[in-house]
Chain A
Amino acid sequence: MNQAAADKGRLDFLRSPWVNTLGRFMALALVFLFFALMVEDGKFVSLRNMENIARQSAVYATAALGMTLVIIAAGIELSVGSIIALSVIIVAWVLNLSAVGKDGVTVYLIQQHPVMLPIVALAAGVFIAVVSGMCNGALIVGLRLAPFIVTLGTMGIFRGLAKGIAHEKDIYPPQDTWLTGIMDPTLTNPAKQWMLLPVGIWMLIVAAIAAALLLRYTRFGRHVYAVGSNEETARLCGVPVGRTKILVYTLAGLFAGLAGLMQFSFISGIGQPMTGVSYELFVIAAVVIGGGSLMGGEGSILGSIIGALIITILYMGGQQMGWPKWVQEMVIGGIIIAAVALDQLRHPRK
């Protein structure tokens, strides 16, 4: 029986959250090492490239924070790319506001309020994303529809709205503002080196810590896991299931809105209504590679961020290796399946 206990102990050790996270870090290191060795002249490990990886992955990672909550609660959020686009468009639209003066000359508000207007734009962009997320939650809870269906629908609705506001054209705000620069490189730009990291990445770090604490150390966090693991049990135990779900989707909207701000800066401050198409797939993939289970009840913030990094590195590394796009797509697809298959091996079903 001692042998049995030892065996069981070893298995439990393999399933502990530390090994879990360590394994993902190792996968990340492996993928990184692969490209570091394979890309010529060590270009991959250059400061500029590392910074680019961080900037590119920040958008996915920020949106993945919200997706992690949703997936732990056994839901899915397909409209995340559309919400990112909607908030990008709203930011650009606000920055592009103009008024006709008494003398009949059109004046851009941004010229009159170079500091205030970006703040209004930021607030408006995040606000529309929060409202969008809340709509998702309210429809799912109120109409008792499957999250897949609701967010499949709102994916179209939000995208359409973004296009409508932009009149199906890109919006070019008249001048760059500080909001346009939140994702600008810092380490390779002496003027901004003191910041160490771009503002957007600092935002991601703060948001990630907040989300992790929220999940692990609050009643709401415990409720999210309970709803995802077994909704009936949660209801029996007096968990406000509907309220929890609405809050989860609202927060997913909030994080998508923050990702939208980053995306706006990343695409050089242009309001493109077609930005963020198919991001939902990258974001869901990041969460799943990070250990999230689509059956609910499992997932972690750190894991999802690692997932976002892995996907970005594969994407950028592939580009630098000169792989054609079709190869990149196949590799990323294969990695998603392999990651989840590995997870199940470690975590056998009863």
Chain B
Amino acid sequence: MSESRLTMRGVSKRFGATVALRNVNLAVQRGPVMGLVGENGAGKSTLMKVLSGAHAPDEGMMTLDGEPYRPRHPLDARRQGVAMIYQELSLAPHLSVAENVLLGIEPTLGPFVRRKQAQKITRHALNQVGLEHVSPTAIVGHLSLAQQQLVEIARAVATECRVLVLDEPTSSLTRQDIDRLFALIRRLKAKGMAIIYISHFLEEVRAVCDRFSVLRDGESVGEGEVSQVGNNEIIAMMVGRQVDDLYPRNVHQAGEVVLSLHELAGKRKPASASLQLRRGEVLGIAGLIGAGRTEMMRAIFGMDPLRSGQVKIGLFNASTTSRGNWRRGAGMVSEDRKNEGLAVGLSIAQNVTLPKLRGLGPWRFVRPGRQNTAVKPWIEKLAIRCQSASASVSSLSGGNQQKVAIARLLHADVDVLLLDEPTRGIDVGSKAQIYRLIDELARGGKAVLMVSSYLPELLGVCDRIAVMCRGRLGEARPVDQWNEHDLMVAAIGKDEQAA
């Protein structure tokens, strides 16, 4: 392995008494893309922080092109040619593309930035990542998410990077953008850049990676050629057990209609959406990001105003406020856990009981003790790993946070559950639990409307699926009449295919 561009040998890292990494080994060559997989909390982000110089390892050593590699801080790592593209974009939205690309490494003359040269370098970097049409002087905040991500990669390219690390890069990209990103990764790989690709999605790892390495509980538990193992084997390595029935398949008994949309149109999106959701049914909404699915959910729930059309929850017209819709027996889980879904500074009990504080004390009073006891059954039922109901939500892992967001609907005992990307960014174990919960709720007579960008999950969990394409919701068909290919075709739409 002397030709490895980057190696990590026996790397360990402790925080207090918690072992985050234990004797991790990794070797990355120029060329083959290394996929790094593992559940949330497996230590992937700690590993990346060690690599980027944000944390110093307690034990072990790293080499870069055979030389010892000990970055003192992130800028140092970047100067040595190790660039990170994080899950959450780390760009300054008010600054221009050029300012972002060269942030911290601006070409200067004395105290002044050499603007002409800065633009030239940026231009060159943008060309390499396929952003020829974006001006170096454009303001980053005005670009689309996908373009912003490419700007981040341009930033890596501009510094002559030797190792590029991408952490969950596709979490907010559309299918087309993902394909473009993959094409770019293949181009960079052909140029001899060493690439580490971190993802939850094994399909992506399969599509873009050549080798893979699995982390579990801070340890390297396996690696190999992607082409030589099946997904189930990799998942088994990730969770330490065989997960063959990720999706429970039970027969659901559809009852009366509890949610109906009639030509719903929002301010900008959706253009038109009609559907009927029955008790005991899980209805999935597929579509590309930006098709208007989240906007539809928000409009149903009264979070955004309607332009026209009608929403009925139960027998009555839906309220124009979320407050009224909780009262009508509907509840929503937001796609954006951190910014909208949860008040992470507050306790689990606070977050769960917020929509329904009634009954937790006399009159308009609330007894904190009653809040805690009311939440305990849900903590047990959803297996939320926490110290107590009064623990702050920020102390939980992503999967457990998501369970808190879902527990809120259970506490409010709603009949109609609007779930927007309920498993985004959480580990396989938590996903399986959420799938089982959805199945159980449907069997208990609840109605679930679920938006997801992850097709296997929709096909695995839903009874019927409808596809939204450019703001228009198609007909909901039983799940056995769909497959991934058809869903994708419907999501992309006819005109796109012709073009």
Contact = CB atoms under 8 A, between A and B. Distances in A.
Interface stretch (B129-137, B164-172, B183-191, B350-358): B350-358
Interface in A1-58: 1, 3-4, 6-8, 12
Contacts of B351: 233
A218 B364 contact: yes
Contact of B354 (A1, A216, A233): A233
A104 interface: no
B228 interface: no
Given A233-B341, A236-B334, A7 B17 contact: yes
B334 A239 contact: no
A12 B391 CA distance: 9
Given A217-B365, A230-B344, A222 B357 contact: yes
Contacts of B368: 216-217
Interface string A263-283: 000000000000000000000
Given A237-B322, A237-B354, A217 B366 contact: yes
A329 interface: no
A101 interface: no
B453 interface: no
B350 A217 contact: no
Contacts of A3: 17
A225 to B, nearest CB: 6
B303 A7 contact: no
Contacts of A334: none
A229 B346 contact: yes
Contact of A238 (B326, B343, B346, B366): B326
B408 A12 contact: no
A327 B357 CA distance: 50
Place the interface of chain A in its size category: 20 to 34
Given A12-B387, A222-B354, A233 B343 contact: yes
4 tightest Cβ-Cβ pairs between the two chains A and B: A238-B323, A229-B343, A230-B343, A4-B17
> Do most interface residues of chain A lie in helix, strand or loop, or is the interface mixed?
helix
A113 interface: no
Contacts of A217: 361, 365-368
Contacts of A239: 323, 354
20 contacts: A8-B387, A216-B368, A217-B361, A217-B367, A219-B358, A219-B365, A225-B343, A225-B346, A225-B350, A226-B354, A229-B345, A233-B341, A233-B342, A233-B351, A233-B354, A236-B340, A239-B354, A297-B343, A297-B345, A298-B345
B144 interface: no
Contacts of B327: 238
A168 interface: no
B452 interface: no
A67 to B, nearest CB: 19
Contact of B357 (A1, A219, A233): A219
B62 interface: no
A233 B404 CA distance: 13
B111 interface: no
Nearest to B391: A12
A221 interface: yes
Contacts of A237: 322, 326, 354-355, 408
B394 interface: yes
A8 B326 CA distance: 37
A42 to B, nearest CB: 43
A1 B394 CA distance: 21
Interface string A133-173: 00000000000000000000000000000000000000000
A350 interface: yes
Contact of B364 (A219, A234, A236): A219
Given A219-B365, A235-B322, A239-B354, 18 more contacts: A1-B17, A7-B16, A217-B361, A218-B366, A219-B364, A221-B366, A222-B353, A229-B344, A230-B342, A232-B336, A233-B340, A233-B341, A233-B342, A237-B322, A238-B323, A238-B324, A238-B354, A297-B346
Interface of A: 1, 3-4, 6-8, 12, 216-222, 225-226, 229-230, 232-240, 297-298, 350
A239 B354 CA distance: 8
Contacts of A6: 17
Contact of A4 (B16, B332, B346, B353): B16
A4 B217 CA distance: 15
Contacts of A4: 16-18
B92 to A, nearest CB: 19
A218 B343 contact: no
Contacts of B344: 229-230
Contact of A232 (B17, B340, B350): B340
B345 A222 contact: no
B339 interface: yes
Residue of B324, B327, B341 ringed by the most chain A CB atoms within 10 A = B341
B260 interface: no
A8 to B, nearest CB: 8
A36 to B, nearest CB: 37
Given A229-B343, A350-B394, A236 B332 contact: yes
Contacts of B340: 230, 232-233, 236
Contacts of B346: 225-226, 229-230, 297
A280 to B, nearest CB: 25
Given A217-B361, A236-B334, A238-B355, A222 B322 contact: no
B364 A240 contact: no
Interface in B205-249: none
Contacts of A236: 303, 322, 332, 334, 340-341
B483 interface: no
Nearest to A298: B345
Nearest to A232: B340
A237 B409 CA distance: 10
A237 B325 CA distance: 10
Contacts of A297: 343, 345-346
Contacts of A222: 350, 353-354, 357, 366
Nearest to B353: A222
B321 interface: yes
A226 B393 CA distance: 13
Contacts of B343: 225-226, 229-230, 233-234, 297
Contacts of A8: 387
B364 A220 contact: yes
A1 B218 CA distance: 14
Nearest to B387: A12
Contacts of B357: 219, 222
Given A219-B366, A226-B350, A297-B345, A238 B322 contact: yes
Nearest to A10: B16
A4 B16 CA distance: 7
B361 A235 contact: no
B422 to A, nearest CB: 14
A350 B398 CA distance: 14
Interface string B427-445: 0000000000000000000
B366 A235 contact: no
Contacts of A229: 343-346
A46 B355 CA distance: 52
A298 B387 CA distance: 21
Interface string B69-109: 00000000000000000000000000000000000000000
A32 B387 CA distance: 38
A218 B362 CA distance: 10
A85 B344 CA distance: 39
Residue of A1, A3, A232, A237 ringed by the most chain B CB atoms within 10 A = A237
A138 to B, nearest CB: 19
Given A235-B303, A236-B303, A237-B354, A230 B323 contact: no
A238 B334 contact: no
